[in-house]
């Protein structure tokens, strides 16, 4: 496994490409907050997409969207003011974990279980 940080100027393209490659793949989402502790947001839910909203070259928000339970629509988790985006890849170059840290040092971890 290797971990690398994605430069902020490349976030939009990287996330768009990841969404295309990993669409419908089940993911687990966990938020780690210094103030509120760890929280599981999703387990084994199909990824719909990860998008980056930019203004003036800076990313203002990243939205993670997964399919909800049958009949319940979808779940979107918004990360305001992201500052870092790391990706951990397996030996074959597939994304294993996406780690997004915001200005308040809250981490959102997206796990892509191997199939």
pTM value surpassing 0.75: yes
pLDDT band at 55 (very low <50, low <70, confident <90, very high): low
pLDDT at 47: 92
Residue 109, pLDDT > 90, answer: yes
Residue 69, pLDDT > 80, answer: no
User: What integer is the mean pLDDT of 57-84?
Assistant: 84
Is the CB of residue 26 less than 8 Å from the CB of residue 68? no
The residues, ordered by sequence, that sit 6+ positions from 59 with a Cβ below 8 Å of its Cβ are 8, 11, 12, 52, 53, 82
pLDDT band at 13 (very low <50, low <70, confident <90, very high): very high
pLDDT at 112: 93
pLDDT at 71: 67
pLDDT band at 108 (very low <50, low <70, confident <90, very high): very high
pLDDT at 51: 92
Residue 22, pLDDT > 80, answer: yes
């Amino acid at each position: 496994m290797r971990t690398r940080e994605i430069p902020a100027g490349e976030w939009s393209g990287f996330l768009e490409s990841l969404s295309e490659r990993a669409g419908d793949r089940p993911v687990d989402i966990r938020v780690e907050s210094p103030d509120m502790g760890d929280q599981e947001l999703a387990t084994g839910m199909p990824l719909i997409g990860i998008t980056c909203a930019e203004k003036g070259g800076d990313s203002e928000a990243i939205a993670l969207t997964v399919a909800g339970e049958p009949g319940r629509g979808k779940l979107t988790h918004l990360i305001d003011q992201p500052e870092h985006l790391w990706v951990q890849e397996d030996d074959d170059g597939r994304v294993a974990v996406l780690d997004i840290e915001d200005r308040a040092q809250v981490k959102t971890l997206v796990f892509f279980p191997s199939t």
